[in-house]
Structure 1
Amino acid sequence: MPRLSNACKRSIIPLLLAALPIAASPVLADSRPTFGWVEEGLILPENTRVKFKLDTGALTSSMHAENIDSFKKDGDDWVRFTVELEDMDSEKQVKTRLERKVVRKIKVRGAGGADSRPVVMMKVCLGDRVYEDQFSLNDRDKMNYPVLIGRRMLEDVGLVDSSRTFTTEPNCKTGNSKKS
């Protein structure tokens, strides 16, 4: 290995030290989009525009659902539920009855005690991408945000800037789908 002269060392060392913070910074190296802690999104396939809360404190995403009924279909656990939300575009109540296969059940502990919830696969649009991910179903009528995006999905979505809101509008086209 060739030996460097003292003059060469003096010129290289400041360059290496200047580059170190950039190379060590994961935020600068991350090319994923940055969203605010509240964004507009679409619940698919109905294309209902609602507020999504991007919650880094929640592991699993959650969606408002009412009248959740469990049933068996081909030996598997399924749920039938009603999604009734106010569309931000039309300000009309959108009500639809959906059926989904239960992926798993989770136990949620809170101030009111423990609660068991079904988890299903749902598609949503955030920014310019469609995401299919697991959502626990829960009556979120008393909550400000009908859809909560948890850390599992946020890993694929991007970064969250807690000082910002409504940084993007949903603009999903076919083929921009990402399965989480």
Structure 2
Amino acid sequence: MRRPVRSRLSRHTPSILAALLTAVVSGTALASSPQVLGWVEKGLILPEQVAVKFKLDTGALTSSMHAENIDRFEKDGDEWVRFTVELEDVDTDEDVRTRLERKMVRDIKVRGAGGAEERPVVLMKVCLGNQMYEEQFSLNDRDKMNYPVLIGRRTLEKVGLVDSSKTFTTEPNCSDA
């Protein structure tokens, strides 16, 4: 006696559905894969459009930016900081110096080999790849460091993955900035 066609199909339905679901999920995962960047990338500090080297540092929690002559002051009852950003633009080899003011978000305590210190944290806009990010940056004199901007994990979780074997995988292009 022959089985009806319907029962043979229904017997394979679970495996067919599983294969289709796997194909759909895999295709979706590939389409929405995060970007992969190198451990050093060129980025822009906005709105000044200064191109500098960013170190993508998975060991740091908070991002950090080079700043000198940091002065705290009060404005409209809030804590603010005034600071100088003096950097070499990697595109033009020109030194760019500007004085900025930002409202403080918070203070952080940073512990290192030389002891602990408090640093102000402000919101700054930067361009990395083709995305603009407004993120928290601690301000610190990074003159003796190789990289004036360090991107920490709080920002990296929005940026993508870091491939430690690569550098300079993308050019910053935030034309809307």
Does TM, scored on the shorter chain, surpass 0.5? yes
State yes or no: 1:154 paired with 2:156: yes
Aligned to 1:124: 126
Q: Deviations for 1:36-88, whole angstroms, at most 9, x for unmatched residues?
A: 00000000011000000001111100000000000000110000000000001
Residues 129 and 173 of structure 1 are in contact (CA less than 8 Å); yes or no, is this contact kept in structure 2? no
Q: Distance in 2 between matches of 1:89 and 1:127?
A: 15
CA displacement at 1:16 relative to structure 2:
6.1
Counting aligned pairs with the same residue, the percent is 72
- TM-score with structure 1 setting the length: 0.83
Aligned to 2:106: 104
Q: Distance in 1 between matches of 2:32 and 2:79?
A: 39
Q: What SS does structure 2 have at the residue aligned with 1:117? A: strand
State yes or no: 1:136 paired with 2:138: yes
CA displacement at 1:127 relative to structure 2:
0.4
Choose which of 65, 68, 88 in structure 2 pairs with 1:63: 65
Aligned to 1:89: 91
Choose which of 24, 39, 42 in structure 2 pairs with 1:40: 42
Residue type matched to 1:45 in 2? P
Q: Distance in 2 between matches of 1:9 and 1:137?
A: 65
Q: Deviations for 1:120-144, whole angstroms, at most 9, x for unmatched residues?
A: 0000000011100000000000000
For structure 1, the 5+ residue unaligned runs are 176-180
For structure 2, the 5+ residue unaligned runs are 1-6
Q: Distance in 2 between matches of 1:93 and 1:58?
A: 27
Mark the CA change 1:55 to 1:9 in structure 2 (over 3 Å): closer, same or farther. Answer: farther
Q: Distance in 2 between matches of 1:138 and 1:69?
A: 12
Q: What SS does structure 1 have at the residue aligned with 2:175? A: coil
Aligned to 1:178: none
Q: Distance in 2 between matches of 1:143 and 1:85?
A: 12
CA displacement at 1:173 relative to structure 2:
1.9
- Bigger radius of gyration among the two: 2
Residue type matched to 2:39 in 1? W
Pairing 1:65-80 to 2, within 5 Å after superposition: 65-80=67-82
Q: Distance in 2 between matches of 1:29 and 1:102?
A: 38
Residues 64 and 146 of structure 1 are in contact (CA less than 8 Å); yes or no, is this contact kept in structure 2? yes
Aligned Cα RMSD in Å? Answer: 2.6
Runs of 4+ in structure 1 off by over 3 angstroms are 27-30
Mark the CA change 1:67 to 1:34 in structure 2 (over 3 Å): closer, same or farther. Answer: same
Q: Distance in 2 between matches of 1:45 and 1:31?
A: 29
Number of aligned residues: 171
Aligned to 1:169: 171
Residues 87 and 93 of structure 1 are in contact (CA less than 8 Å); yes or no, is this contact kept in structure 2? yes
